[in-house]
Amino acid sequence: MGKEIQKWADSQQYKREPIPEDKRRKISATLINAIPDPLGSIVVLNGIYKGEVIRSLNDPRVTNEARRQAFDDLLKTVLSGPLESVQFHFLIEGLTRSTTHQMVRSRFSFFAQESLRFAVPEGNWVEEIPLPPHLASTKGDQALGAERDTLEYQRNVWDQAMLHLQEAYAVLVNSGMPAEEARELLPHAMPTRIHWVMDLRTLFLEAGKRTCTQAQFPWRIIFAEIAKVLRGYESPETVEQYELANGTDGWQFQLIAEKIRPACYQAGKCVFKAEFDRSCSIRDRVDAFERAGVPSVDWHRGYAGTGLFSMDDGTDAEGIPAIQDWEWAADPSAARLS
């Protein structure tokens, strides 16, 4: 059974653009477009709450200090509507179809996804389909006779399944089955590309939910990539258009990126307390910090009962151990009961 597609039952079918070799099994984000002065827009909108009618982003009242203050104010109030004036257009690549099934549940975003009705995936699925974190450190060149209940055995079963699925898919399409029907055979792990257009309010809402340990681990990678591209972004508009710090608007996007944190950091407390919510490796400390009145910006330092502290291991026998970012950002099992 061959893997190459040679027959087209539908003239609208086309070969899907292959995943570049250096991006295989990696999630990446590209910021296609964003408004050039996001915090300036917030200053203008916030102004109306105080009786200030501002008609231009070049108004002398729209200073960098005002931009920072307006952003800070909106993070302290439920009146967060002005955040909706700031819109982003991201292209996310390398995520799986199962992840995009979750992504498109958002009612406050627009999505345009690569369609497997007509885009026919070729390549080598065994090498290109993302591995689950559980198997990320394994190699796929072991014999199927590997001992059961080992990671090597699970990896071999995974690779064999992908090989058989790709061969079956190719046979069906080459035999004349339209790709829109043969795609029913494709695994949820098939990598895909999707355009994600959202406003700043939605960005913070989704980041809060999806960087929490409650979410599946690939989400934390997605938002790490989103934060990375925000930190490096400068809008293509000419710097003469606005009087921004250092002649650039990049600092605004860096400030936004710093706020991409789990919901507990945004709220100062755990907001996943329902009976059906997953367990969490940092929840007990979040609850303790809330009771002690310690703001989330200081959770990485720990608490000794008499004040904030920072020891070599971030802990104190009578205090609250520190929460390090890697605990929620880099641990795939942070919500899994052993």
**DSSP assignments along 40-86, one per residue:** HHHHHHHHHHTT-----TTSTT--HHHHHHHHHHHTTSS--GGGGG-
Between residues 129 and 149, which one has the greater pLDDT? 129
Residues 36-53 have a mean pLDDT of 93
Mean pLDDT of all residues in 82-93: 96
CA distance 277 to 22: 37
pLDDT at 47 over 90: yes
Residue 150 clears pLDDT 90, i.e. is over it: no
Contact assessment for residue 335 and residue 216, using Cβ atoms and an 8 Å cutoff: no
Q: What pTM was estimated for this model as a whole? A: 0.89
Q: Indicate whether 63 pLDDT > 60.
A: yes
Computed over every residue of the chain, the mean pLDDT equals 88
User: Does the structure show a pLDDT above 70 at 239?
Assistant: no
Chain segment 113-137, per-residue pLDDT in tens = 998 998 899 889 999 999 999 998 8
pLDDT digits (tens, 9 = 90+) for 162-220: 999 999 999 999 999 999 999 999 999 999 999 999 999 999 999 999 999 999 999 99
pLDDT, position 109 = 95
Coil, helix or strand at residue 161: helix
Rounded Cα distance, 324 and 300, in Å: 5
pLDDT in the model for residue 305: 76
b/e map 280-311, b = 16+ CB within 10 Å: bebbebbeebbeeebebeebebbbbeeebbee
pLDDT in tens, 245-291: 445 678 999 999 999 999 999 999 999 999 999 999 999 999 999 99
pLDDT in the model for residue 275:
93
pLDDT class of 2 with cuts at 50, 70, 90:
very low
Alpha-carbon distance of 219 to 217, in angstroms, equals: 5
